[in-house]
Structure 1
Amino acid sequence: MAETANDKINVFWFLPTHGDGRYLGTTKGGRAVDLPYLQQVALAADNLGYYGVLIPTGKSCEDSWLVAAALAPITRHLRYLVAVRPGLQPPSLAARMAATLDRLSEGRLLINVVTGGDPVENKGDGIFLGHSERYEVTDEFLQVYSRLLKGEKVDFHGKHLRVEGAEVLFPPVQEQGPPLFFGGSSPEAIDVAANQIDTYLTWGEPVEQVAEKIAVVRERATARGRELDYGIRLHVIVRETEEEAWAAADRLIAHLDEETIAAAQKIFARMDSTGQARMSALHKGSRESLRIGPNLWAGVGLVRGGAGTALVGNPQQVADRIREYQALGIKNFILSGYPHLEEAHRFAELVMPLLPLSQSSQRAERTINTGPFGETIGGDKRPQASAS
């Protein structure tokens, strides 16, 4: 049976603006994340046919808006998923920024709405609200922000926010404004998603847990007369054989000591993020229980906040696991791997040919002389395609 447009998925990559390297939790194998390196990753993702890239946000990262503005002009198709932070900026300013970047990128901007779950970082940014209040702010922010990007002039008087005569004079390229992505596992977050968001994101939990979460979100959205898209954030460790892939996973944390793990887990424990608590519960801060599902490994979460799980296996296994998440209704897959430049190529070459990509038409635009065929043999003929 031929696949329809609804059967296609979007595969994103990740721009590591908070650091990159061959090993986690150590300076060994680390590399400078400067503009030339980020340009390499963005150009690779664009040329390899990824749908877009996620740019992280927070005090540990370079500013996502400036990074996107620097990289959009050198790429052709790549979309940029960039964070807005309710509570850190007024909605009218954020809407003007979004409209400008959408115009400069010719309609390639996507918005990641981030409420923030670290009380210590929030206080450093001047936010002293509790968990529930932050989601109240997020809901009010989006009521104003979305209307502005749709061309409306807005008066709004809420519990936390108030604007009079707010408007965006120069509209975005995308007629209804850039699509809104958002993740959150608490009841308050799910209510925001059901009310306001276009694509609900989850971190890479086992399939059964993701299914339960999506069912709740879908039910809440349906009750409000809305239908959402869904996405998932995962790392990937793919090699030609399963044995090589698991060996690569072990190498990734080979220089990670127990003191570093304990320090990271202490930071995660202070957060009031339900999603972070769910991630931490998958491994409980121990190396002893990292394989948490078929081809699903929680080792990244020992020291990395947020998305802490990776799909590990040979190309067909990784593609099969992606298909399982797709069967739940997930359309957007936001992936990453260490180091991000090399792994962008590896995933594109080994796994993307096995997936029903919405962006495959971009790859098909290549002519025969620029298509992937390997090095010419003896300067005289091209190698023949071999069966996998």
Structure 2
Amino acid sequence: MEMFWFIPTHGDGKYLGTTKGARAVDFPYMKQIAQAADQLGYSGVLLPTGKSCEDAWVTASALISSTNKLKFLVALRPGLMSPTLAARMASTFDRISGGRLLINIVTGGDPVELAGEGVFLDHDARYELTDEFLHIWRKTLLHEEVTFEGKHLQVHGASNLYPTIQTPYPPLYFGGSSSAGQQVAAEHVDVYLTWGEPPQQVKEKIEHVRQLAGQQGRTLRFGIRLHVIVRETNEEAWDAANQLIQYVDDSTIAAARKVFARYDSEGQRRMAQLHHSSRESLEISPNLWAGIGLVRGGAGTALVGDPETVATRIKEYAELGIETFILSGYPHLEEAYRTAELLFPLLPIRQPQQHENAQHPSSPLGEIIANDRPPSHAAIRSTKEVTSDAKNTARQHA
């Protein structure tokens, strides 16, 4: 299995729902988290996306030179940019980083936020757009000249001049719990992600998506997004979980519930069903705690317990087919260390490695001709031949 961590570009602190114990997530702090994850042996980091976050692409790009092996799982949001621009951004990032880009396809789940971004499509139409977007994006990065006329997107003669280091392109990650989303996953992506639902629900989801992919003649890998609260004893871990939400009052929960109610995301609906906006019965499965989801959108569950217990729960998910675990904890810098120190020795962790093609040239040899094609290869001539030609030219002009 491989372990990822999280860059909290939308805020961090010791407690949820309050400014008490909060800290500024500025670039030096994000750099500390990224470097810690890189040194501790995490394979990569997820950067969230949305209006509440610092831009994922700009942030990840700024962190490239501060890290060595760490991969960056960065969001592409169909509808907010063209697929050909997104392909160029991906190939540039992948080359500059030495093959350390992963793509997280985010179709969006808050119609109010999407309207503010200029996207007015309903739920299923957004997934139609995502399907067309990925069709163009993938073919472009396969060095095909693409002409496509769809319901939502059109391109004529689209192409990408610069190859990515990773082949055929940086891996595509995607999380979608609806039927429309799962169909997109089956046709296009490499890694299907789920939020931290109870194991039986995760099992059913994996089996269904695996079947859909099989109908397309494809196989997928699977990942899960979870928080983790691990301490030396179970008692300490559960105390830490309760302390995390000690300042979350009923009015804060009600305000969050009002926002979540407008979402048309099936995944968010499933998260909300786990806790029903109530503090009662937050342990929804052995050591799986839904307290974070009371006020946090997206991933709202945490594995809670001592190292042996949490490692056992992780292995249970792995037995279902989960290979990638995208973890986080509050505050993210300290918890990156605690999680690695307590959990990693108990798990079969895949050690991150620098990409074998990381020395791929980051730019073409010579200037692009007419902004459209790389320069052609010329026969290599010796210095003696060049000097002789120069002398002959000089005699002709004499």
TM-score above 0.5, yes or no = yes
Aligned position for 1:145: 137
Deviation string 1:192-227 (CA, Å, 9 cap, x unpaired) is: 000001000000000000001111101111111110
- Looking at structure 2, the residues matched to 361 and 69 of structure 1 have their Cα atoms a distance apart, in angstroms, of 19
Instruction: Give the C-alpha shift of residue 299 in structure 1.
Output: 0.3
- Structure 1 distance, partners of 2:44, 2:186, is 24
1:66 and 2:58 are equivalent in the alignment:
yes
Distance 1:54 1:257, change over 3 A: same
Query: Partner of 1:351: helix, strand, or coil?
Result: helix
CA RMSD of aligned residues (A): 0.9
* 1:284 to partner: Cα distance: 0.2
State the Cα distance separating 1:72 from its structure 2 match: 0.9
| Aligned partner of residue 287 in structure 1, secondary structure | coil
- Structure 2 residue aligned with 1:91: 83
Alignment-derived partner of residue 111 in structure 2: 119
Partners of 1:155 and 1:106 lie apart in 2 by 30
Where structure 2 has 5 or more consecutive residues not aligned to the other structure, the ranges are 355-398
Aligned residue among 348, 361, 379 for 1:356: 348
Contact 2:69/2:353, CA 8 A, preserved across alignment: no
| Equivalent in the alignment of 1:235 | 227
Aligned pair 1:16/2:8, yes or no? yes
Q: TM-score scaled by structure 1?
A: 0.90
Question: Matched residues in 1 for 2:141 and 2:344: separation?
Answer: 34
Shift >6 Å, 4+ stretches: none
Q: Verify: 1:190 aligned to 2:182, yes or no.
A: yes
Q: Match of 2:323?
A: 331
Alignment of 1:30-49 (within 5 A): 30-49=22-41
Shift of 1:361: 7.3
User: Could you tell me how far apart the structure 2 residues matched to 1:197 and 1:144 are?
Assistant: 13
Q: 2:281 aligns with which of 289, 303, 312?
A: 289
Shift of 1:175: 2.2
- 1:289 is paired with a residue whose SS is coil
Match of 1:375 in 2: none
**Partner Cα separation in structure 1 for residue 227 and residue 112 of structure 2:** 26
Q: Percent identity?
A: 65
Residue identity matched to 2:184: V
Alignment partner of 2:21 out of 14, 22, 29:
29
TM-score (norm 2): 0.88
- Note the alpha carbon deviations across 1:277-298, whole angstroms, 9 max, x for none: 0000000000012110111000
Q: 1:22 to 1:55 in 2, by over 3 A?
A: same
Q: 2:101 aligns with which of 104, 109, 115?
A: 109
SS in 1 for 2:99: coil
Aligned-pair CA distance for 1:360: 6.8
Q: Which amino acid aligns with 1:219?
A: Q
d(CA) in 2 for partners of 1:123, 1:324: 40
Q: Is this contact kept in 1: 2:43–2:352, CA < 8 A?
A: no
Q: Which runs of 5+ in 1 are unaligned?
A: 1-8, 363-388
- Indicate which of 241, 254, 270 corresponds to 1:262: 254
- Residue 310, structure 1, aligned to residue 322, structure 2: no
Aligned equivalents of 1:336 and 1:352: distance in 2? Answer: 14
In the TM superposition, residue 258 of structure 1 has moved relative to its aligned partner by 0.7
Tell me how far apart the structure 1 counterparts of residues 93 and 116 of structure 2 sit (CA, whole Å).
27
